[in-house]
Amino acid sequence: MNELGEIPPRNGGRKVTGKSIIIIGAGLAGLSTGCYAQMNGYNTQIFEHHTKPGGVATCWKRKDYVIDGGIHFLICHRQGQSIYELYRELGTAQPNRFLDMTTYLRYIDETSMRSILITQNLDSLTKELKAFSPTDARTIDDFMVGARALQGSDMGEMGLSKPPELMGFMDKLGLMWKMRRVFKYFTGKYAKSVADYGRTFHDPRLRLLIENLFLPEVPVWFIFMLLGLLADGHMGLLEGGSLNFVLPVEKRYEDLGGKVTYNATVEKILVENDRAVGVRLADGSEHRADIIVSAADGYSTIFNMLEGRYVDKEIEERYRNWKLFRPLVMVSFGVAREFTGEPCLNIIKLERSFMVGNKPIEWITIRIFNYSSKFAPVGKTVIQAMFETEWDWWKELQKDRPTYEAEKERVMTEVLERLEAHYPSISSQVEMTDVATPYTWWRYTRNHRGAFEGWLPTPEVINTQVKKTLPGLANFYMAGQWVMPGGGVPPCLYSGRHIVQILCHRDEKPFSISFP
Ligand SMILES: Cc1cc2nc3c(=O)[nH]c(=O)nc-3n(C[C@H](O)[C@H](O)[C@H](O)COP(=O)(O)OP(=O)(O)OC[C@H]3O[C@@H](n4cnc5c(N)ncnc54)[C@H](O)[C@@H]3O)c2cc1C
C-alpha cells in the first residue's frame, strides 16, 4: 500500500464508481469530505457523536441568547480568493452574510494603561505601533514590510488547492513560481516563532503585544498573512455565528444525497486483512463500507478506534511530542446593555491576575457580539471572555460534579470583576451566564485533551505534511485538524476535498465539482 492508501489494482485498470464511504464526524472536515465525495459519485454516510453538526464550530442557546463557541473570524469571506470558491462549492457562501472585519482586535495592557487598535489601515497601524514604542521604529518597519508583502496573495493557491499527495515536480515548481514575490517572507527570521522574533524589540510591552496578536508560537509569516488579509479586506465575521456557517454545508451534503446519523459514536473501526471495512458504534451496531474516513479526533481514531495497531515511529513521536492548542475556559454573559463602537475582539493583559487550577490567569480574550442582531434581543449583547487553562486539572475536577460546578461559578465571578473595570455596572446587567471548560469541549467534540484546534502551529510543525493515511492500513483516510497542523476553517474544509481528489485519482476518474 502506498501513501495514497491504495493497494495494487486487481481490476485490470477498470474505472470504479459508486463505492461506499463511511465518514466519522460531522465537523467541517467530515461534511466537506461528504459533499465532495457525493459530487464525485461515491455513496456516503456520516456518523456523528453529537446531536448536531459542526464539531468545534458551534453555537448553543441559553435563555434568549445565542452563544458562539467557535470561529472568531473567517478568512477570504469575499470573492477574489480561491478559498471563497471553496465556500461556494460547499454552499455556505450564498446563504450567509459575511461582515467585513475592519479592526482585527484591540490590545489593552492594564498594567501600563496602554491600548492599541489593530486596524486594516497598515499606514496608521505603523504609526500607532511607533507611538506605542518609538525606540522600535526600525523593527516595526521591517515587520510591516512583511505584512504589506503578503497583501494581494491568494491564500488557497499557496499549497491548499491541490493535495500535497498528488503534487508532482511541476506542481511544486509552479507553486514556488507563484510564491516567488513573497518567498523570502516565509524563510529566515520570518520563519521563526513570533516569540523569537519579538526578542528583537526593545520594548517588552511591544513584544507582548506582537506575541498576542495570535499565539507566541506561530511563525512570523502567519501574522503577516493575517495582517495582509485584514488590509485587503479579506477577513470577515459571521453574522449568524459558527453554526449558521455549518448548517448550509450539512444541507448541501444532504441535497447531494448524503446522510448524517447523529448521536452515533464510533467505538471501533473494523479491519479485515489490514483493510478498513466498517465501523462499530457505541450501540453495538456494525456498518460496512468500501472506504472509511475519520474526520474525528486524531488520537482517539488512531489509538482507540484502531487500538494503536497502525502506527509508525513518526506517528508515535508526533502524539508524544507535538504541542497541542492549549485548552480554554470560555465564560459567556448575556447582558442588558449595548456595546456600540466597541471592537469585537479584545486581548487584555490583566493587572490583577487570578488563579485557575495551578495557573495564574494573566490574559483574557474578550469577544463582544455587537456586530449582529442574531445573538441577543434588541438592546442586549453577548460578551464572552476566554483564557488558556490546564486539561488535567479540569478533567480531574469534573469527576466531582458539585466542586466542578462551584469552580465554574467562582471563575465566572472572577471574570465579571475584571470586566467591571472596563464596563462599569456590567455585573448588575447580567441576565445569562454560561461557562465552558476543556472538559466541555471533550464531551461534545472528543478533541484530545480539549485541544480545540488540534496541533499548535509552531514553525516546526505548521509546514509538516501529515499523511492522511496510516501505515499498513488500506482503504482508510483521515481528514480535519489532526492532519492539517494548526487547524482552521479553510484547511479543514480543504482536507475533505483533498481526500476525494486522492480517491478520484486512485479510481482513475476526473475530480468534479458543482455548485448549489
Ligand atoms: C473557540 C474557537 C475559535 C476558533 N476560531 C477560528 C477562527 O477564527 N478561524 C478559523 O478558521 N478557525 C477557527 N477555529 C478552528 C476551526 O473551527 C476548527 O479548526 C475546525 O472547525 C475543525 O474542524 P474538524 O472537522 O477538523 O474538527 P471538529 O470540529 O473537532 O469535528 C470533529 C467531529 O467528529 C465528531 N467525533 C469525534 N469522535 C467521534 C466518534 N468517535 N464518533 C463519531 N463522531 C465523532 C465530533 O463530535 C465532531 O463533530 C476556532 C475554533 C474554536 C474552538
Contacts of 172 (CB under 8 A, 6+ apart): none
Q: Whose CA is nearest to atom 41 of ligand 1?
A: 266
Regarding whether 335 and 311 lie in a shared domain, the answer is no
Look up the domain containing 43 and give its range.
Answer: 20-57+242-323+454-506
Q: How far apart are CA 213 and CA 105, in angstroms?
A: 8
Question: Is 437 a domain residue?
Answer: yes
Instruction: Report how far residue 357's alpha carbon sits from residue 352's, in angstroms, rounded to the nearest whole number.
Output: 16
Q: pLDDT tens-digit profile of 162-189?
A: 999 999 999 999 999 989 999 999 999 9
Domain boundary among 428, 445, 462: 445
Query: Does residue 105 lie within any of the structural domains?
Result: no
Whether 287 and 306 share a structural domain:
yes
- Which H or E element spans position 402? helix 401-422
Q: What is the pTM of this model?
A: 0.96
Q: Is residue 102 part of a domain?
A: no
Q: Is the CB of 28 under 6 A from ligand 1?
A: yes
The reply to whether 196 and 124 lie within a common domain is: yes
Please give the tally of structural domains in the chain: 3
Positive or negative: CA dihedral 177, 183, 184, 188:
negative
Query: Which of 408, 394, 488, 478 has its CA nearest to residue 443?
Result: 394
Q: Are strands 43-47 and 259-261 parallel, antiparallel or unpaired?
A: parallel
Pick from 230, 210, 229: which is nearest to 220 by CA? Answer: 210
Question: What pLDDT is stored for residue 8 in this prediction?
Answer: 45
Is 340 in the same domain as 423?
yes
102-131 average pLDDT score: 95
pLDDT band at 274 (very low <50, low <70, confident <90, very high): very high
What does the pLDDT look like over 297-352, one tens digit per residue?
999 999 999 999 999 999 999 999 999 999 999 999 999 999 999 999 999 999 99
* 137-149 helix and 220-231 helix, angle to the nearest 10 degrees: 70
Last residue of a domain, one of 211, 232, 253: 232
Residues 260, 342, single domain; the answer is: no
Verify whether ligand 1 is closer than 6 Å to residue 73 (CB atom).
yes
CA of 295 to the centre of ligand 1 (A): 9
Q: Kindly state whether residue 62 falls inside one of the protein's structural domains.
A: no
Note the pLDDT tens digit of each residue in 246-263.
999 999 999 999 999 999
For the chain, give the percent of residues with pLDDT over 70: 97
As a whole number, the mean pLDDT across the chain is 95
169 and 224 together in one domain: yes
C-alpha cell, 156: 488557497
From 59, 446, 482, 484, mutation site for ligand 1 pocket: most ligand atoms within 8 A of C-beta = 446
Query: Strand locations in 69-122, DSSP E?
Result: 74-75, 98-100, 103-109, 114-119
In a domain, 38, yes or no: yes
Predicted confidence band of residue 9 (pLDDT cuts 50, 70, 90): very low
Encode pLDDT of 206-259 as tens digits.
999 999 999 999 999 999 999 999 999 999 999 999 999 999 999 999 999 999
Tell me, yes or no, whether 285 and 338 share the same domain.
no
Q: How confident is the model at residue 141 (pLDDT cuts 50, 70, 90)?
A: very high
pLDDT in tens, 403-425: 999 999 999 999 999 999 999 99
> What span, in angstroms and rounded, lies between the C-alpha atoms of 139 and 132?
13
Q: Is the pLDDT of residue 484 over 70?
A: yes
Same-domain status, 338 and 426: yes
- Please name every residue paired with 105 in a beta bridge, in sequence order, or none if there are none: 118
For a ligand 1 pocket test, name from 226, 489, 497, 499 the mutation site with the most ligand atoms within 8 angstroms of its C-beta.
489
CA 182–ligand 1 middle distance (angstroms): 30
Residue nearest to ligand 1 atom 6, measured at CA: 71
Give the amino acid at 74.
L
Residues 175 and 227 grouped into a single domain? yes
Q: What is the CATH number of the domain that holds 249?
A: 3.50.50.60
pLDDT of residue 6: 52
Residues 463 and 480 in one domain: yes
Judge whether residue 12 has pLDDT over 70: no
Q: Does 4 fall in a domain?
A: no
Please indicate whether residue 492, judged by its CB atom, sits closer than 6 Å to ligand 1.
yes
Q: Does residue 165 line the site of ligand 1, with CB under 6 A?
A: no
Domain stops at, among 208, 232, 256? 232
Residue 26 lies in a domain: yes
330 and 300, same structural domain? no
Name the grid cell of 75. 478568512
pLDDT at res. 112: 87
| For the CA of 29, the nearest atom of ligand 1 | 25
Name the residue at shortest CA distance from atom 16 of ligand 1. Answer: 488
Domain assignment present for residue 113? The answer is no
212 and 255 share one domain:
no
